[in-house]
Amino acid sequence: MMHVLIIEDEPATARLLQSMLAQIESMHFYSVLDSVTAAIDWFNTNDNPLDLVFMDIRLSDGLSLEIFSKANITVPVIFVTAYEEYTLSAFKTTGIDYILKPFDKEELLKAVSKYKQLFQNTKPEVSNQLIDIDFLRKSLQSYKQAFLVSFRNKLLPLSVKSIAYITTVNEVSIAYVSKDKKYVLDNTLEELANLLDPKDFFRANRQFLINKTFVQDLDYYFNGRMVVNLTIPTTEKIIVSKAKVPELKKWMGL
């Protein structure tokens, strides 16, 4: 039997969650916690067996992500929330899945199945100890495949595969598809570096994110630096510092 804790401040949602989960797997549920404060207290004072936590993001007294900085949580967490914008932050905790409300039984079944698959070789008595959470986060990380961008009076999907590079001008991120075709993105360059797959996009410097598909060649530059040339013209030279050149070469497979 799985020992499960639900952290949710909406009683109706908590009841629905319990009901659906009980139909999926034999589970023992602890009392539902409805606040950050209650959850921190529970984790710091209980040593009850615990296998899995279902957690909302926004609770009555703040964000549940605060719990992880004030309590030692090593058990896997499945986030169930209405707020998509916290996905990356959630996976920096012990989160293994992220379900958006309104949810259904099939989504919960997939999440529980993912938990069982990840921990199927772990002995029951130590099933609440994550052996390599960094590996789990990386294996579960999902990256942006497209952005919704404004074009005249419309919103268009922009595939990340079509983006040659992204630069920042006056703190505004601009994605270039060709020399004259560009789109404004809502995220900062720092955020975009986390949203895009690092196998495909490289943070060349503070101003540029580049797509490997569009890299034409590399030029040696002053003081051990390198210039990245793309298959389309860029607004200025993309210069990579000497310290970052080895990382660039590794990314390029050189």
Query: Model confidence over 98-152: pLDDT tens digits?
Result: 888 888 999 999 999 988 888 765 543 333 334 344 444 444 456 788 999 988 8
Distances (CA, A) of 197 to 25, 138, 177, 200: 34, 11, 17, 6
CATH topology identical between 2-140 and 146-252: no
Q: How are beta strands 62-63 and 146-151 bridged, if at all?
A: unpaired
> Rounded to whole angstroms, how far apart are CA atoms 28 and 203?
46
> Rounded to whole angstroms, how far apart are CA atoms 3 and 48?
9
> Rounded to whole angstroms, how far apart are CA atoms 161 and 144?
10
The contacts of residue 63 (CB under 8 Å, 6+ apart) are 36, 57, 86
Three-class SS state of 196: coil
> Rounded to whole angstroms, how far apart are CA atoms 164 and 152?
21
Kindly report the CATH number that applies to the domain delimited by 146-252: 2.40.50.1020
Q: What is the pLDDT of residue 96?
A: 84
Q: What is the pLDDT of residue 85?
A: 57
Q: Tell me the pLDDT of the chain averaged across its residues.
A: 86
0.85 cut: is pTM over it? Answer: no
The contacts of residue 20 (CB under 8 Å, 6+ apart) are 104, 105, 108
Domain 2-140 has CATH 3.40.50.2300: yes
Site of tokens 């579960």: 140
Q: For the chain, which residues make up each domain, given as ranges?
A: 2-140, 146-252
Query: Model confidence over 28-76: pLDDT tens digits?
Result: 999 999 999 999 999 999 988 999 999 998 888 888 888 988 998 888 9
- Closest of 109, 43, 111 to residue 79, by C-alpha: 111
> Phi then psi for 143, rounded to 5 degrees?
-110, 160
